[in-house]
Structure 1
């Protein structure tokens, strides 16, 4: 996710499954409070409820409860799949995958209904994927379909290539119709089966389709069109790359999952109600409430009183929870996620208060401030990983050695890393901008998403260490609401943005693309220069286009080395996830890439 956030990526999600601690709290064996309702208190809220648009964990957690995919991971085992809305998992052995790996067939389950009563059909599945590819919003998740099915990272790249032009605005109508025809041919219906035709073999294809990836959630074609969405015709451009709030499915939902959307009270809470007509057994919990509570003290009180069953807790507060009587803490649960501070190489200037004067005059920074490698290296040498891991993450992290987490194949355990070294930081600051930076100084703002103390402290570490080197260096820190933060970094207005990535699928390709590819979610917002991305893009394409492990290893090792040599980011930490359980909540299980909770599996009962 994923992806950028929702509980924002740096968060520690703490599931309160047995808390009866503190003065005046109920004893562990006392009657469960609100047994039919599960309340999660977190911070941040969804950016959207459109599965094809969502690419943050806050959105993904809500979509996970409402919508379903063709297949699912086998109870958190990321190496095994089970059927969901498809009746079989395709393989070469069962004849549903062609021997060359280019054709996948999914028999669609019958008797399933969307929340509005419409039956699930193969045409709904076809529409879901074709709509997503044509919508393909900037910085979104649909590259995961476009790469295997069409051989391009964006739909605009395909259109421009076919037309032989440099701008999507220059693509003529006949080429746009050809783009539609290619999308239409990539996903087809044959009786009760949906057929995917790949442009090339793509090893992680099934992982991309599995539940947990909101982008592959199946939507109701008839309902979506009634909301004003793409009508299925060749005239698709007016639905392409919408702003979140202009998307017809922005704040409404209609899935086949165990919970229905009741209300999205923006800034406050999401309310979900059990789907009594669910095709499987109805969920044990009738009502799910996900509340946006930014203040830790309030979330803590909700947890202690039993008004919240699941609470997001940043690592600095973890010991407060663990010390409460009746609390069970599971440390270092698997979580395929990492976090970095990303430099924007060409910052958007218009109306941008984050860069002060916009000049190298001591009162701001120029838009290409981080294009100087000495600036980037100086910032890297100014970060204190040991403090960040021990005092902020409470040991629930290790230093990241680059974009690829240590638990994935082709991670290089010998890859060099930066360490806190203020002497080297000063050397690079003195060389930066031909020596003018040290003499003139600078001022800039580092923003973080409101409520995320881990990101705030990361910014403060940089502020304190960098300002200690030169009184002319000034860094301001600003809190932004989560949707505002997302928009600001995507528009390249943040000079430096701190954000994490929760895996979409368990393969190194899923990390090098968002972190390094010219069209990747974070790299595109950074506006990495072409002289870097030419080699990077070629290496990424080479690594995913082969099943030869030696070729993949060489490409991924080189990518990790480029990331270090060029200091394109401050790679912060690879994360694990502590889970704190209150004993009236049962059924929690680990899943390293799930966006939040699986409320369908949870129940409340006295232990």
Structure 2
């Protein structure tokens, strides 16, 4: 039961009410976009991970969603479908996917009207209705959004905690490093992202403040798609004839193990990350409870890779060879280099093995991942809340984000993951998550490439920044500028 604060003004001129809170949470569940965060609310509130089955059919009812969140006077009541750790539920409520929107504003912009006669029409939209509408009540309002260029936020003076110290925050997309660097050194940019390979260029620069070796709760892995879309443009002929791969190419565990042994972690972490990353054994990052530091992990070994390639598909892979494409999103040097390392090492094992590394824009990359068109894909996961469930679920559960896109299914894994989030006994949870890490190594649904250390660069006139590994991006409300 949560009492709702009165007098919180919205950017649209209204005030937040308990009905707005109820509507906001129900709308998240109604919408439930592919790859979105709704699963974190659906699990505790409805006892399911998604509103749809594998064919896209709705599997929950309006009544279930309606009764999960209710208004009682000035309070909002959440009805949990089953026992769920309170600390995790509160952590879920504290992040951006639990943001409250002004119901009237949202409906006016075409969002779900809050009624149940046609609610399924608003499920899994291609483009969210509020993507460019500002119906919030936070410290900054959306001033303008130039797609692919910049987002401009302006201070909301009626914010309930008091106005922010800065009047405006502008987030610019500047892909070209030399341009971004020059803006930073001239003082035209206050905070920038510095790719690791360019970090040396700013060493010793005046009036620059840098925080190094920031621990992260983030993991990037190479995921194998078990059932690739047969219409995928990235699998060549679609057959194991030396000119492509069949859609179920990675269902053979020997193929997955061969790819795992073909990755050179030492070279990658040294040259791409300048040593500021770690090769960890599984999806649970170091720093979270129940991380197993003694869990075996794959190491670079081309002899082993060759051994498993020769076993794959009863020898046909070795005899015929294969062709596939590995994509990366343009501008992501880390993913591009990881793909190139795999290509180089695998192609030197057998001249019949061919991999093409293709760069595409992020929207294209994301669509292809969601649709199961990528033979394998490199992507990271940043913690939504600091618990191992938040990593094993998307990485390993058949209904988890990445595992679902891969079509990876292991009933024992699903059972263990469901049990792990239900029990509160630390020793029992440890046994469960240690077992999941062991299965991850044995089954190789994906292979972790790295857990990075972070850096933060800012001009020395910036005041108020602090590091929070669970919060992505910049919290502008805390910042000020003092020259």
Q: TM-score range by the shorter chain?
A: over 0.9
Match of 1:148 among 28, 44, 60: 44
Residues 497-537 of structure 1: CA deviation (Å, up to 9, x unaligned):
11111100010010011111111111111111x4x2x1111
Of 453, 464, 488, which aligns to 2:368?
488
Q: Does 1:503 align with 2:386?
A: no
Mapped to 1, the partners of 2:391 and 2:304 lie a distance apart of 29
Q: Does residue 335 in structure 1 map to residue 216 in structure 2?
A: yes
Is 2:104 aligned against 1:242? no
| 2:45 and 2:80 in contact (8 A); partners too | yes
Checking the alignment, whether the CA contact within 8 Å between 1:137 and 1:242 is kept in structure 2 is: yes
Which of the residues 205, 218, 222 maps onto 1:324?
205
Moved more, 590-599 or 250-259: 250-259
3-state SS, counterpart of residue 438 of structure 1: helix
The question of whether the paired residues in 2 share the 8 Å contact of 1:449 and 1:479 is answered with yes
Q: Does 1:382 find its partner at 2:262?
A: yes
Is the CA contact (8 Å cut-off) linking 1:354 and 1:445 kept in structure 2? yes
Decide which of 312, 315, 329 is 2:193's aligned counterpart: 312
Match of 2:273 in 1: 393
Do 1:331 and 1:396's aligned partners in 2 also have CA atoms closer than 8 Å?
Answer: no
Paired with 1:120 and 1:496, the residues of 2 have a C-alpha distance of 44
What corresponds to 2:72 in structure 1?
Answer: 190
Change (3 A) 1:353 1:323: farther
Alignment match of 2:151 (pick from 257, 267, 270): 270
Q: 1:206 aligns with which of 90, 98, 101?
A: 90
Contact preservation (8 Å) 1:208, 1:505: yes
Question: Which position in structure 2 is the counterpart of 1:52?
Answer: none
Matching of residue 555 in structure 1 with residue 437 in structure 2? no
> Is residue 276–residue 282 contact of structure 1 (8 Å, CA) maintained in 2?
yes
Name the counterpart of 2:475. Answer: 598
CA contact (8 A) 2:219 2:452 kept: yes
1:228 matched to which residue of 2? 110
Separation in structure 2 between the aligned mates of residue 146 and residue 482 of structure 1, nearest angstrom: 27
Distance 1:467 1:298 in 2: 36
Residues of 1 paired with 2:244 and 2:176: CA distance? Answer: 32
Residue 571 of structure 1: aligned partner: 448
Q: CA deviation at 1:482?
A: 1.6
Corresponding position of 2:183: 302
Deviations 1:102-138 (A, max 9, x none): xxx1111111111011111010000011111122122
Q: Which residue of 1 aligns with 2:307?
A: 427
Quote the Cα distance in structure 1 between the aligned partners of 2:58 and 2:104. Answer: 32
Shift of 1:599: 1.0
Could you say if the C-alpha distance between residues 121 and 501 of structure 1 is closer, same or farther in structure 2, counting changes exceeding 3 Å? same
Q: Distance in 1 between matches of 2:376 and 2:432?
A: 27
- How far apart, in 2, do the equivalents of 1:168 and 1:363 lie? 32
Aligned to 1:418: 298
Write the distance in 2 (CA, Å) between the matches of 1:313 and 1:473.
35
> What corresponds to 1:131 in structure 2?
27
| Segment of structure 1 superposing worse, 192-201 or 119-128 | 192-201
CA 1:313–1:253 in structure 2 vs 1: closer, same or farther (change >3 Å)? same
Of 435, 439, 450, 2:330 maps to: 450
State the Cα distance separating 1:201 from its structure 2 match.
2.4
Q: Is the 8 A contact 1:139 1:519 kept in 2?
A: no
Deviations 1:58-104 (A, max 9, x none): xxxxxxxxxxxxxxxxxxxxxxxxxxxxxxxxxxxxxxxxxxxxxxx
Q: Check the 8 A contact 1:322/1:328 in 2, yes or no.
A: no
Q: Which sections of structure 2, spanning at least 5 residues, go unmatched?
A: none
Change over 3 Å in CA distance of 1:170–1:581 after alignment to 2: closer
Trace 1:89-128 onto structure 2 (pairs within 5 A).
Answer: 105-128=1-24
CA distance in 2, matches of 1:294, 1:141: 27
Q: TM-score, normalised by structure 1?
A: 0.77
CA contact (8 A) 1:122 1:189 kept: yes
Give the secondary structure class of the aligned counterpart of 1:225.
Answer: helix
The answer on 1:347 being equivalent to 2:228 is yes
**What is the CA-CA distance between 1:253 and the residue it aligns to?**
2.3
Task: Give the 3-state SS of the residue equivalent to 1:228 in structure 2.
Answer: coil
1:237 CA drift (Å): 0.7
Between the two proteins, the alignment pairs up a number of residues equal to 480
Q: Which residue of 2 aligns with 1:79?
A: none
Q: How much has 1:169 moved relative to structure 2?
A: 4.1
Q: CA deviation at 1:170?
A: 8.2
CA distance in 1 between counterparts of 2:249 and 2:275 reads 33
Corresponding residue to 1:405 among 268, 285, 303: 285
Q: Which of 411, 415, 423 is 1:546 aligned to?
A: 423
CA positional deviation for 1:594: 0.8
Instruction: Kindly indicate whether the alpha-carbon contact (under 8 Å) linking 2:217 and 2:286 is maintained by their aligned counterparts in 1.
Output: no
Kept after mapping to 1: 8 A contact 2:4/2:18: yes
Shift of 1:549: 1.5
CA distance 1:586–1:460, change in 2 (3 Å): same
**CA distances 1:193-230 after superposition (whole Å, capped 9, x unpaired):** 111111222111001011xx221011111111111211
